[in-house]
Structure formats: structure tokens, C-alpha cells
Amino acid sequence: MTALRNLIVDEIRRSGPISVARYMELCLLHPVHGYYTTRDPFGTAGDFITAPEISQMFGELLGLCLAQAWLDQGQPKPFTLAELGPGRGTLMSDLLRAIRIVPGMSDAVRLHLVEASPHLREMQRAKLENVVHLGDVSELPDGPLYLIANEFFDALPIQQFQRGPNGWAERLVGLDGAGLAFGLGPPMSIDLPGNEGDVIERCPAAAAIVNEIASRIARDGGVALIIDYGGWNGRGDTFQVVEAHQTVNPFDNPGGADLTAHVDFAPLAAAADAAGCSFGYTTQGHLLNALGIGARAAKLAAAGDRGAGSAARRLTDSDEMGELFKVLAIWPTDAPAPAGFTARRAQTKTESNETDA
């Protein structure tokens, strides 16, 4: 029995079943007992490992992609370099080292990190200089915005709707005796086809964040690279709870395990399009290959890094992270596409082809 479980049970007793979104929010970000609030979950000894923790090449290549976009857009000075959910700060530290080779760029950086966890903010401050922490993208300063987010959107709270015998209803977390259990709310008038048992997911927070970022990029220039696991259009129930690299029951250890959902990139691209930006969408494997991970791995290997080749394969192979992880790029319509991307149009049916660049 964790303290957080007791708080959640009390909340449900007081005011009824809670949404999956509320459950995620409490488990991940409760100010005292939340998963991210209290720990550093990354790495082999932690619950999961992320791309920047696998290899320095990840942050370096993405940094060079941002640098090319910065050069293409006339080297605006100063500019905001932002990251959403920087974790240990590893990606940003690798990125900042890589862009030092671009004359004038590092000096123009105003670094802003959007991070909810006080514990991780401290780790980021220890690793990076001149950091401004923000709680929310709406607090970003005006001006050109070069932004990166790796495995941030999968942690945003989702709503789930399930088709029951009487139509769609929201999937809720309620009580089954003394324990937590899934149930369904009252039937809703959602006009969508589906069979009984089907689940759809929505992440209103994600589209709102992309709308905010893309509006700024359309107005002031810049680029955003959003990397996460997921796909184009929803695929049913993807809510997942992971502890020590294993999928576990979502109610076993509230606040002690990581809760995520696949990111549906189609509504995020639609939000970027509606805000007046161009966008591109490709796989992590395609992008890193296009940015030259092969050559970078060979160089590191020649310098004595014996793990570089296998790290590159882990990041790019289709049966490792290469296909599951996707990248959405957002840029102003009057600027060239960032390296590795071609502009796509919103709401085209053929865009379900995920290997397309």
C-alpha cells in the first residue's frame, strides 16, 4: 500500500471515479509521491532507457539538425533553445557540445527547459549552465524557437473511451472493493464507428502544446523536433505501465512505475498545420541515418568507443528503436525543410505510410 494509492482511493471515495488522465497525472507528477517528482528513472538500473542515455550520437545529430535549420533561417541572434522534459539533461548536453562547431550559434543560445520535476530540475542544473526552468510552454519567451522533445509527449495524460453495449463511454479508474480497477462512465454521444470493446485514446494536452509551439514558430521562426514512440492515427489501448524494464499491472504501484501511452502524431501534425506551419514526419531510424549516424559511429569507433556501432544499430534498426520511434518536425512555411525531412500535407489518407520521409 503506497501513500499515493491511499490518496487516490480517498479522492475516488469523495468524488467518484477518476479519468485515466487524472490517474496518470497523479502517478507521474503528484508533488510529493509522483514518479518523476521523486526519482531518476532512467538507465539500465532504472525503469527504462531512453535514446540519449544509449549514446551521445543521438543528441549530437539532433543538435546538428537544429543548427542547419538555424543557418537556413538566417542565424537569428539571440534565439531560444528549448527542451521539453529533459530528464537527466543528457540530450541537451550532447546537443550543446555538437553545435559549438557552428560559429556564433552557442553564444546566441538562451536555454529554456520545461520540466515539472524538482528532482530532475536539480539534475539538469548540475549538468547544464545558464538554465531557465519553466513549468509550461506558454511561459517560453517570444522570439525564434528551436525546440526538442524526446519521450515527453508519451508521459502526457490521455483520456480513453471504450465502446460498451450502449455506445461509447469514458474509461475510468474506480474502486473494486478496496482496490483500484477500470470501469466505464455513463454512455456518451460520440459519433464514431466501432465494435464493442474497442478503445480510442485522446491526448488534449499534446495538441494544445503543439499548437502553442507551432504558433510561435509560425510567427517568430525556428523549428521543433518531437521524438516519441507511437504512430499515425490511434491504435486502440496503448496505455502502459513499466517498472524495472517490465510491463506491470497499472494499479500495483501508483507513483512507483512509469505510465505512458503511444503518441498519435496525426492530431499533432494537424495542430501544427492549423497554426500555420509546415511539418514532416519520419522514423527515428530514417532520420538518424539521413543525419549521418553511420559516419559518426565509425568516427567514434576509430577513436576507441567500442560500443558506438551497436548503439547506432540500437537507435536505428527496425527491430530495435528505429521504426517504433517517430519524429515530427515543425517549421515555418517560408523556410526550407530541416535536414532529413520533406514537407507533408495534413489529413491525407496516404500519410499512414510511416516509413515515408
Residue 91: Cβ within 10 Å count = 27
Pairing of strands 246-247, 240-243: antiparallel
Stretch that binds ligand SAH, among 8-16, 146-154, 173-181, 232-240 (CB under 6 A): 146-154
Q: Is residue 152 within the footprint of ligand SAH (CB under 6 A)?
A: yes
Q: Which is nearer to ligand SAH, 121 or 313 (CB)?
A: 121
Q: Is residue 243 within the footprint of ligand SAH (CB under 6 A)?
A: no
Number of residues lying near ligand SAH (CB under 6 A): 20
Provide the mask over 13-42, with x wherever binding to ligand SAH is found by CB under 6 A and - wherever it is not.
---------------xx------x-----x
Q: Which is nearer to ligand SAH, 53 or 305 (CB)?
A: 53
Q: What 3-state DSSP class applies to 141?
A: coil
CB-based burial of residue 179 (10 Å sphere; 0-12 exposed, 13-18 middle, 19+ buried)? exposed
Structural contact between residues 326 and 269, judged by C-beta atoms closer than 8 angstroms: no
Peptide bond into 78 cis (omega under 30): yes
Q: Is residue 260 within the footprint of ligand SAH (CB under 6 A)?
A: no
C-alpha distances (whole Å) from 77 to each of 52, 169, 197, 311, 318 are 27, 50, 53, 35, 39
Least distance between ligand SAH and beta carbon 151 (Å): 4
Provide the mask over 68-87, with x wherever binding to ligand SAH is found by CB under 6 A and - wherever it is not.
-----------------xxx
In the set 55, 73, 80, 117, which binds ligand SAH (CB under 6 A)? 117
Which residues does residue 35 pair with via DSSP β-bridges, in sequence order? none
Which helix (H) or strand (E) segment holds residue 109: the answer is strand 109-114
Least distance between ligand SAH and beta carbon 339 (Å): 21
Stretch that binds ligand SAH, among 4-12, 102-110, 148-156, 241-249 (CB under 6 A): 148-156
Length of the chain: 357
**Residue with the shortest CB distance to ligand SAH:** 85
Return all residues near 212 (Cβ < 8 A) that are at least 6 apart.
137, 138, 140
Q: Which is nearer to ligand SAH, 50 or 56 (CB)?
A: 50
Q: Is residue 116 within the footprint of ligand SAH (CB under 6 A)?
A: yes
In the set 47, 60, 94, 151, which binds ligand SAH (CB under 6 A)? 151
Q: Which is nearer to ligand SAH, 18 or 134 (CB)?
A: 134
Stretch that binds ligand SAH, among 12-20, 110-118, 231-239, 295-303 (CB under 6 A): 110-118
Query: In this structure, what is the dihedral angle of CA atoms 155, 229, 67, 54, given to the nearest 10 degrees?
Result: 90
Pairing of strands 159-164, 199-202: antiparallel
Q: Tell me the chain's radius of gyration from C-alpha atoms.
A: 21
Q: Is residue 209 within the footprint of ligand SAH (CB under 6 A)?
A: no
Residue 197, amino acid:
G
Q: How far apart are CA 85 and CA 205, in angstroms?
A: 14
- Phi and psi at 331, nearest 5°, equal -150, 165
Stretch that binds ligand SAH, among 74-82, 138-146, 149-157, 340-348 (CB under 6 A): 149-157
Q: Which is nearer to ligand SAH, 108 or 293 (CB)?
A: 293
Least distance between ligand SAH and beta carbon 211 (Å): 16
Stretch that binds ligand SAH, among 46-54, 263-271, 332-340, 343-351 (CB under 6 A): 46-54
- Helix ranges restricted to H, 109-255: 118-127, 204-220
Residue 186: Cβ within 10 Å count = 8
In the set 12, 47, 52, 261, which binds ligand SAH (CB under 6 A)? 52
In the set 114, 207, 223, 271, which binds ligand SAH (CB under 6 A)? 114
Question: Which residues of the chain form contacts with ligand SAH (CB under 6 A)?
Answer: 28-29, 36, 42, 50, 52-53, 85-87, 91, 114-117, 120, 150-152, 155
